[in-house]
């Protein structure tokens, strides 16, 4: 039979001064990038810079058109055989080419309307706008004896107030010569012109340019540089 003293004999006494144990944690070693890897990064950065510069210079943009000047020659309302309108506008349109290549436009069309109804339009001949330059086109719209039937009530009201609102739409269609390619471009601007029927002057004009069609270029480049 095992006694109590036998269990005590299985364990030895603790040392008076235990030996300390130290644990050293070393950081993960990352070797510095090699010269070859740095050259790859520089080459990629240079290529991306040149590509971005080429896209900036060659990216085709629609021309910007602006109604530079509107002059009212005359406006008369006749009521002999119903209400009819005699109207004459002289317009100067500014066409600005934002691209680094010349722009050839086929025609420039200006239409004039009253309360959403077109009264008439005039079309000019084509021309060329140099790169990063502007061109001015003059157009005259003469409208004589236009019968105002549907909007007679509004026209009488505008005449009594002394101000007649007109709508003008200007549109230009052109082609951008980019090396061997022909890229069609289009621009349009709509204006609201308020004419004083008493002194034959323009009170105010508000223009709203409309964006033409374009394209977007998205380029994603992923480059891996291995660490040796």
pLDDT at position 120: 86
The confidence band for 228, taking pLDDT boundaries of 50, 70 and 90, is very low
pLDDT exceeds 50 at position 214: no
pLDDT digits (tens, 9 = 90+) for 197-206: 888 778 888 8
pLDDT for position 29: 59
Residue 168 CB neighbour total at 10 angstroms: 22
**H/E/C letters for each residue in the chain?**
CCCHHHHHCCCCCCCCCCCCCCCCCCCCCCCCCCHHHHHHHHHHHHHHHHHHHHHHHHCCCCCEEEEEEEEEEEEEEECECECEEEEEEEEEEEEECCCCCCEEEEEEEEEEEECCEEEEEEEECCEEECCCCEEEEEEEEEEEEEECCCCHHHHHHHHHHCEEEEEEEEEEEEEEEECCEEEEEEEEEEEEEEEECCCCEEEEEEEEEECCCCCCCCCCCCCCCCCC
Question: Greater confidence, 67 or 134?
Answer: 134
Residue-wise pLDDT for 94-136, tens only, equals 889 888 888 888 888 989 888 888 888 888 888 888 888 999 9
Pick the CATH number of 60-210 from 2.160.20, 1.10.3470, 2.60.40, 2.40.50: 2.60.40
Per mean pLDDT, which range of 32-36, 59-63, 97-101 is the poorest? 32-36
**Structure token pair of residue 224:** 């891996």
Domain residue spans of the chain: 60-210
Place of tokens 């691209």: 99
Average pLDDT, the chain: 76
pLDDT one-digit tens code per residue, 153-180: 888 888 888 898 989 899 988 887 666 6
Query: Would you state the pLDDT for residue 179?
Result: 64
């Amino acid at each position: 039979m095992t006694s109590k003293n036998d269990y005590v004999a299985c364990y030895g006494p603790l040392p008076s001064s235990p030996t300390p144990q130290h644990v050293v944690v070393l950081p993960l070693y990352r070797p510095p990038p090699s010269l070859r890897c740095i050259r790859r990064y520089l080459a990629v950065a240079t290529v991306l810079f040149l590509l971005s510069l080429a896209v900036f210079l060659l990216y085709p943009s629609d021309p910007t058109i602006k109604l530079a000047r509107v002059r009212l020659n005359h406006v008369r309302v006749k009521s002999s055989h119903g209400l009819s309108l005699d109207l004459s506008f002289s317009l100067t349109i500014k066409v600005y080419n934002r691209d680094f290549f010349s722009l050839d436009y086929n025609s420039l069309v200006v239409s004039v309307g009253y309360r959403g109804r077109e009264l008439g339009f005039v079309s000019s001949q084509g021309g060329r706008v140099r790169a990063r330059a502007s061109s001015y086109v003059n157009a005259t719209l003469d409208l004589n004896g236009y019968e105002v039937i549907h909007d007679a009530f509004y026209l009488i009201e505008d005449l009594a107030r002394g101000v007649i609102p007109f709508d003008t739409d200007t549109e230009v269609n052109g082609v951008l010569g980019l090396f061997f390619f022909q890229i069609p471009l289009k621009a349009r601007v709509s204006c609201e012109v308020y004419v004083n029927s008493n002194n034959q002057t323009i009170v105010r004009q508000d223009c709203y340019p409309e964006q033409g069609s374009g394209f977007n270029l998205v380029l994603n480049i992923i480059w891996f540089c291995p660490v040796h």
